[in-house]
């Protein structure tokens, strides 16, 4: 890399530090944001940290299978985030936790997460979308950014622990540079090596799942983020984990938007391994407003 950004294993190690919460009690934890980042806490970060907090209070033999969260206030990246976990239930097969992220004594995000004892059962999934080029066949983020030098200053400062490769045009190109497309498809992987901890891989996938999902709402209209386009924020986020996976191996994030109205857009996505196994599904609603509107 030549743009001076923190990438690869160094950025992944920083992500691992962000996800490694400090215990402050038996059911409470404290998290920090990266030293350099956006003006408000990235939604995938607080969701990933909330899942870390919940998962650390559950029998490690039980794996997370779903989470549902709401973003209620913008997070301050220079302030610690306190996580309080409530044990809703420990049954024979399932454990349910509620994890609340707080700053200045007020919730900025809350999540319910469910964990299951491994079981055997029916097994099927939708197929990998056809005719999608592989991750090595599409431009890297650095290749994309080279066309938009005005973006290099921003992205050159923010760590990039995720290797993101858009199959189509990203949502941050200049107005007019993005044709309408019913799908937003992106290859992703953690850009380094993660430890062999299934909870950590689930938290890393949660972190990544918020990165491009709302792009699919704009993609339907050929719209873009920022000046001349749209500003937005995540309102809620739901994620289901279907099969074992590694977040440091390539997965396709196939996203589309079934509806947008009332300054809100709904986005849904499926994640597939290169071999075609569906590993997760996501749904998110976001607030979307035209710049200056």
Q: What would the two tokens of residue 71 be?
A: 């973003």
E strand or H helix at 287, and its extent?
strand 278-290
Nearest to 189 by CA among 7, 60, 50: 7
Helix locations, 112-240, DSSP H: 141-145, 149-155, 198-209, 215-221
To the nearest 10°, the Cα dihedral for 193, 197, 198, 202?
A: -60
Residue 182: phi and psi, rounded to 5, are -70, -15
Residue appearing with tokens 């994030």: 253
Query: Can you tell me the distance from the alpha carbon of 233 to that of 152, in angstroms, rounded to the nearest whole number?
Result: 22
The active-site residue, picked from 219, 234, 257, 278, is 234
Q: What is the CA radius of gyration of the chain?
A: 18
Query: Can you tell me the distance from the alpha carbon of 34 to that of 272, in angstroms, rounded to the nearest whole number?
Result: 29
State how far Cα 173 lies from the chain centre: 20
Residue 123 is among the residues annotated as catalytic for this protein? no
Nearest to 46 by CA among 11, 83, 87, 86: 83
The active-site residue, picked from 95, 99, 114, 284, is 284
Residue 284 is among the residues annotated as catalytic for this protein? yes
Q: What would the two tokens of residue 191 be?
A: 């850009």
Query: Can you tell me the distance from the alpha carbon of 71 to that of 116, in angstroms, rounded to the nearest whole number?
Result: 25
The active-site residue, picked from 191, 210, 215, 248, is 210
Residue 210 is among the residues annotated as catalytic for this protein? yes
Q: Known catalytic residues?
A: 210, 234, 284
């Amino acid at each position: 890399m030549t743009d001076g950004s923190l990438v690869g294993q160094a950025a992944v190690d920083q992500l691992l530090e962000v996800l490694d919460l400090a215990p402050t009690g038996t059911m409470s934890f404290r998290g920090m944001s990266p030293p350099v980042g956006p003006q408000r806490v990235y939604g995938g970060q607080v969701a990933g940290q909330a899942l870390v907090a919940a998962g650390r209070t559950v029998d490690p033999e039980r794996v997370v299978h779903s989470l549902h969260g709401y973003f209620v206030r913008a997070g301050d990246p220079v302030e610690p985030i306190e996580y309080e976990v409530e044990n809703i239930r420990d049954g024979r097969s399932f454990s349910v936790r509620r994890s609340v992220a707080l700053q200045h004594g007020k919730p900025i995000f809350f999540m319910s997460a469910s964990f299951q004892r491994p079981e055997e059962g029916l097994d099927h999934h939708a197929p990998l979308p056809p005719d999608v080029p592989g991750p090595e066949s599409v431009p890297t983020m650095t290749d994309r950014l080279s066309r938009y030098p005005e973006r290099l200053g921003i992205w050159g400062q923010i760590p990039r622990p995720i290797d993101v490769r858009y199959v189509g045009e990203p949502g941050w190109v200049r107005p007019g540079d993005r044709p309408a497309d019913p799908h937003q498809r992106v290859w992703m992987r953690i850009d380094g090596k993660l430890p062999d901890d299934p909870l950590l891989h689930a938290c890393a996938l949660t972190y990544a799942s918020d990165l491009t999902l709302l792009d699919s709402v704009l993609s339907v209209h050929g719209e873009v983020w920022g000046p001349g386009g749209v500003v937005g924020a995540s309102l809620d986020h739901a994620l289901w984990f279907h099969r074992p996976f590694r977040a440091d191996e390539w997965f396709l994030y196939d996203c589309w938007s079934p509806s947008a109205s009332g300054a809100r857009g709904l986005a849904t996505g499926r994640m597939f391994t290169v071999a075609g196994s569906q590993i997760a599904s996501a749904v998110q609603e976001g607030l979307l407003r035209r710049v200056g509107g």
